[in-house]
Structure 1
Amino acid sequence: MTMRNQPTARQVRLGSELRRLREAAGKPAKEVAGLLKVSSAHMSQMEAGSSAISEERLRRLAAHCLCTDEELVEALATIATENTRGWWDDYRGVLPQVNLDVAEAEHYATFLHEVSVGYVPGLLQTPDYARAVFSYNRPELPDSELAPRVEYRMRRRAVIESEDPLAYESIVHEFALRVRVADRQTALTQLRRILDEIEQGHVTVRVIPIDQDGFGGAAASMMYLGGPVPQLDTGLRDAPTGVLFIDAQAQLKQLRTLFRKVREASLEPTASRDFIHRLTKEL
C-alpha cells in the first residue's frame, strides 16, 4: 500500500477513529494487525492516516472490535472509499495544506456553526475585505501569493451558495462588523453582503453588541462542523501554529457549550439583521 507523504486532516481523522474503535474494545494493535493480515508497522500507519484502509478491512476491524453502531461504521466506510478530487485540490502546492483541509472539512460537513469576534467570518467576506485582511500579513505577501488566497476564500463560499447549501449559523461581534479593514466603501459593501446572505434563508447571523451584558468570550472564535454522525463532528480553532482540528469528544462537548453560551449573549436573528442594517446607515 502506497504511503501518503502528507495525509489530509480527513484521512488523519479516519485513522484516529480506527484507533478509537480498537482501544475502546481493548484490542492490542498487534492482534488487530494479525486479523487484517498486515504488519504492525502498517497498522500504525493506517491509524496515523498515512496509509489507506480498504472498506473490507475496515468492516472486519469494526466487527472484531464489537462496534454495533452501524451508522458510524457506514460513515467511516464512506471516508475510506472516497476517491474524488475537490476544488481545493487546485491549490495543492500553492497554499498550505491546512487551507485545503479546512475547505474539505466544510465540504463534507452537515452543518456549520461559527463564532467570530475579530473579523467578519471567512465564508461571508467580500473579495476586497479578504484582500485587506491578507494584505496585513507580515511579512507582506506578494500578489502572486495574495491573489490565490483571496480566490480560495471566495471559492469556499460554495458550501453556502450551492443549489444544496449547508445550514450555516454565525455569531459575530459588533467589533468585527465595525472595524474598517480597508475603507468606508469596503465596509459598506461587506455589511450589505452579509444582509444579502441572510435573505437567502439558510444563513443565520447573530450579533453580539459591544454593550451586551454577559459576554466574556473575547477569545471564543471557533467553527463547529457537523459530521454524518455526531461522533464525527469536528471543531476548528486558531492556534499559534495555524488552525487546530479538534475531534476528541470531551473537547467537542466544550465547544458545543461555548457556542451555546455565546449564542445566549447574542441578539435574535431578526434583531441582528436590523442591527446590521442600522450599521449600514451609519457609514
Structure 2
Amino acid sequence: MRSNPTGRQLRFGAELRKLRERAGLTATEAGQLLGVKQNQISNTEAGRVGVSAERVRTLAYHYQCGDKALVEALSDMTTDRTRGWWEEYRELLPAALLDLAEVEHHATRLRTAVTVHIPGLFQTTDYAREIFRQDVPEMSPPDIEHRVSFRVKRQAVLYRDPPTPHQAIIHEAALRMKFGGASVTRAQLQHLLDMSERDHIALHVIPFDAGTFPGSGQSIYYSGGPVPKLDTVNLDQSHGPAFLDSEAQLDKYRVLLDRMEASALSPGESQDFIHRAIQDL
C-alpha cells in the first residue's frame, strides 16, 4: 500500500470515485458488486493501492459508464508505472512541484496565461534564479539551485520527440519587468522569441493597450489530458501549485483562456512586439 501517493495516483482514484458516485453507489455497495471489501474500494479511490486495467473496465461496467474514451484513458493510467526524473527531487522539493512535473510529462497539450512572470517552461536559468531569490522566506543558495535545475528539467517536454504543444499568453507587463536587470531581461526575451519560432509553440502577447480582460488577476496553467475530463488546471500560488480538475472548473478556465487569447495579438504580431521590447532595453 502506498503511504504517499503521487498527484497522478490521487487523480486516478478521484476519477473512479466520481464514476461510483454518479452511479449512486456507496463504497460498500461497489465492493459487494466486485466481491471485495469496502476498504479496498476506498483505498483504490484514495490512490493508496493500484488496480489492473481489467479491474478499471469492470468497475466502469458496474458503474454504467458509457464514456469509452474516458474508461480507456483511465485503464492506460494503470499500466504506466514509470518513475519519472522528478523522483530524484523527492527529498529536496515540495511534493506539489513533483506532481506538477508529472502532470506536464503526461500532458497532451499545454496552455499558459501569465501577467507578471515569463512562463516557467520558457525561463532562462538566470531569470529563474532571480525569481527564486525573491521568495519569502529567503531560500538558501543550494535550495535556489535545486529549484532552478528542476525548472530547467521540466522544460524537456518542449524538446522531446514529439514535443508537447504549448500555447502561451503573456501580458506586456511580464515582458517589461526587468528581473535581474537589463542584460538578464534581454537574454530572456530573446530566448522567448527563439522558442516562439518552434512549430509546436504559439505565443500571444496581450499589450497594455488591450485594457482589461478576463483572468487578468491570476496565472493559469492548463494541462490537457488524453480526454477533456482528465485535463488539469494549475493555479500558481505563494504556497505552491493548486490543482483543479472538476468539470465546472475545467470549463471555466477553458473559457477564460479562450477569451484571453481573443484579447491578445496573433503569434506573428506577438513576435514583432517582443522584438521591439528587446530593442527598448
Q: 1:37 & 1:234 partners in 2: Cα distance?
A: 33
Aligned to 1:111: 109
Asked if 1:215 corresponds to 2:213, the answer is yes
Equivalent residues in 2 for 1:50-69 (5 A)?
A: 50-69=48-67
Aligned to 1:256: 254
Aligned to 2:193: 195
Q: 2:11 & 2:3 partners in 1: Cα distance?
A: 16
Contact 1:36 1:57 in 2 (8 A): no
Gaps of 5+ in 2: none
Summarize deviations over 1:72-101 as a string: whole Å, max 9, x none. 111101112221111111111111111110
Asked if 1:126 corresponds to 2:124, the answer is yes
Equivalent residues in 2 for 1:134-173 (5 A)?
A: 134-173=132-171
Summarize deviations over 1:146-185 as a string: whole Å, max 9, x none. 1111001001111111121111000001111110111111
Q: 1:269 & 1:142 partners in 2: Cα distance?
A: 39
Q: 1:240 & 1:193 partners in 2: Cα distance?
A: 26
For 1:279, which of 247, 270, 277 is the aligned residue?
A: 277
SS in 1 for 2:183: helix
Q: What letter corresponds to residue 28 of structure 1 in structure 2?
A: T
Asked if 1:32 corresponds to 2:36, the answer is no
Contact 2:163 2:200 in 1 (8 A): yes
Taking structure 1 as reference, are residues 216 and 28 closer, same or farther at Cα in structure 2, changes over 3 Å only? closer
CA RMSD of aligned residues (A): 1.3
Asked if 1:42 corresponds to 2:40, the answer is yes
Aligned to 2:76: 78
> Number of matched residues?
281
Q: What letter corresponds to residue 218 of structure 1 in structure 2?
A: S
Q: 2:236 & 2:219 partners in 1: Cα distance?
A: 8
Q: 1:86 & 1:208 partners in 2: Cα distance?
A: 35
Gaps of 5+ in 1: none
Aligned to 1:5: 3
Q: TM-score, normalised by structure 1?
A: 0.95
SS in 2 for 1:199: coil
Aligned to 2:12: 14
Summarize deviations over 1:83-120 as a string: whole Å, max 9, x none. 11111111111111111101110111110011011100
Q: 2:266 & 2:69 partners in 1: Cα distance?
A: 34
Structure 1 residue 239 displacement after superposition? 3.8
